[in-house]
A and B are shown apart, each in its own frame.
Chain A
């Protein structure tokens, strides 16, 4: 017998349900953008760990500035780059709450470098989710600190010349050197297996926060089809071929037992 659409929609046939911690609002992200998946992984972890009543998230300035429209937990919207300072301010007075920041590479590794490094260096018990798409998505594809050598952007139209513009910044390796960080990892969300790994990493990071181990820091290498001027499929391929060799995936630092 052939299954109708109605049959498929029956509750007993459901294999996956959107977490209640994502609102029903349509995502504002471009098709294929990694932000939406990363939001969902963060919220699935918070839901599965039963932490929604005590979680406070910080949205950055960047494409994910409206993260608070999609993440169904208490949220604060920070000024550009200042999310780790807000998170510090909250966590110090509410140490029992779960506090995370969600930031792009311009936000975290350019204008917010000082706040990032010092929050990590103090070992604030917060979780930082760092979305590295190698570009300023929101403002129209300008160079980010993470833009690869030779990579074109709207402010490096002939490619990033490292003699003039410096080298792409590996913020994740940098914070891994700080004693305050407990767990530092680099993940991606371009394939189902990678998405699962990212979710696992976020879960570990929150667990370490609960165990008061220090700052947990997850970079997610992501795409920006609009900024990179590619189709979503091309963008993911380009990311695998160009971003991953420079920003290799995997754990960089784990807590000592």
Chain B
């Protein structure tokens, strides 16, 4: 059967995906450039369509803790926000990671620091991939670069979050949130019943029926036990790093030089690859789809094989470049090129940087 096609904004696509993916609850707080997510959801009356609950919280602190509660009860819960709001959620995220609960967040990143600008940015890479709140943890982080991926990654993120009992972040930006593209929609799936929740998530606090009580907590006062909890969580991260890396390669087979970029930057870099190839420069693009886990092995392999220099292109002053450099491990030159504060790099300038700083250098 042919899939339903619709022209949608990125922010609307993810909201539609939530209703169709059997999400139980969206708890959020308005902030530009992602307010369309909750606006679309409330307009759609998801309580009638799928039974999904949508509630506007009093703050991002409250919304992430509502998510904590619902996720602890085994429900599919999500929120969306933009950079300043995501900062407010860090305490809650740390608790959710510590209590090992699944949930999904969308960050439609805008330029900072502080209140910054409402224009697109990629300056929340560190916050998203390295933990962000206190303690040793990571968020599984996926970076969409199209409206279709905003739609698709919602479901994938829940599957990963539930598989590993860890929060997942969809790290988007203002450009992808706001732009309109064609989206292929799936048929809706229904939300889990209580029996299914009890069966799939025997740890969830659903009321102690025919079992001992369940406790959702991130507290362990005995340091020896707390270390063991940390070791178990780390073991989970090693498995995620082993199994869940996703990326896309564009013209990489014969590439002498490599761009590494995600999200909006990756779209611009596709154009740079074309410009370079027109000039006879064998340039390729590696687009990390998962930022955590990062495709370090793939980059290392490419650098060992034939790539002679790497540019990490980001709408930040240089964050992902640290992971790129770790992967390259000094074998070839690797540099950051970026615009930030809401500015977007141009494909021509990226090429110029490559020619001057990497090829000419």
Contact surface of A with B, Cβ cutoff 8 Å: 52-56, 58-59, 65-66, 68, 72-79, 82, 85-90, 92-94, 97, 114-115, 118
**Residues of chain A contacted by B209 (CB below 8 angstroms):** 53-54
Is B62's beta carbon under 8 Å from chain A? yes
Contact A89 B219 (CB under 8 A): no
Is B92's beta carbon under 8 Å from chain A? yes
**Residues of chain A contacted by B214 (CB below 8 angstroms):** 74-75
Q: How far is the CA of A87 from the CA of B62 in the complex (A)?
A: 11
Q: Which of B27, B66, B215 has the most CB of A within 10 A?
A: B66
Contact B207 A78 (CB under 8 A): no
Instruction: Contacts A74-B215, A88-B66, A89-B69 known; list 20 others, CB within 8 Å.
Output: A54-B209, A56-B73, A73-B213, A74-B205, A74-B207, A74-B214, A76-B68, A76-B72, A76-B205, A77-B216, A78-B65, A79-B92, A86-B65, A88-B55, A90-B69, A92-B25, A93-B70, A93-B75, A94-B73, A115-B65
Q: How far is the CA of A8 from the CA of B67 in the complex (A)?
A: 51
Contact B66 A89 (CB under 8 A): yes
Give the residue name and chain of the B residue nearest to A53 (CB): B209
Q: State how many residues of chain B have any CB contact under 8 Å with chain A.
A: 38
**Residues of chain B contacted by A59 (CB below 8 angstroms):** 217
**Residues of chain B contacted by A93 (CB below 8 angstroms):** 24-25, 53, 70, 73, 75, 77
Supposing A54-B207, A89-B77, A92-B55 touch, asked if A82 and B25 sit within 8 A by C-beta, the answer is no
**Residues of chain A contacted by B42 (CB below 8 angstroms):** none
**Residues of chain A contacted by B59 (CB below 8 angstroms):** 114
Contact B58 A72 (CB under 8 A): no
Q: Which of A54, A89, A92, A97 has the most CB of B within 10 A?
A: A89
Q: How far is the CA of A52 from the CA of B25 in the complex (A)?
A: 25
Is B237's beta carbon under 8 Å from chain A? no
**Residues of chain A contacted by B275 (CB below 8 angstroms):** none
Supposing A74-B213, A92-B25, A93-B77 touch, asked if A58 and B69 sit within 8 A by C-beta, the answer is yes
Contact B62 A118 (CB under 8 A): yes
Top 10 closest pairs, chain A to chain B, by CB: A89-B69, A89-B66, A86-B69, A85-B65, A77-B217, A82-B65, A118-B58, A74-B205, A76-B216, A89-B70
Supposing A73-B213, A89-B77 touch, asked if A78 and B58 sit within 8 A by C-beta, the answer is no
Is B243's beta carbon under 8 Å from chain A? no
Near A by CB (< 8 A), chain B positions 58-88 give: 58-59, 61-63, 65-73, 75, 77
**Residues of chain A contacted by B58 (CB below 8 angstroms):** 114-115, 118
Q: How far is the CA of A75 from the CA of B99 in the complex (A)?
A: 12
Contact A90 B207 (CB under 8 A): no
Write the nearest CB–CB distance from B110 to chain A, whole angstroms: 24
Supposing A52-B208, A56-B205, A92-B53 touch, asked if A85 and B217 sit within 8 A by C-beta, the answer is no
**Residues of chain A contacted by B215 (CB below 8 angstroms):** 68, 74-77
**Residues of chain B contacted by A77 (CB below 8 angstroms):** 99, 215-219
**Residues of chain B contacted by A115 (CB below 8 angstroms):** 58, 61-62, 65
Contact A85 B57 (CB under 8 A): yes
Write the nearest CB–CB distance from B352 to chain A, whole angstroms: 48
Write the nearest CB–CB distance from A91 to chain B, whole angstroms: 8
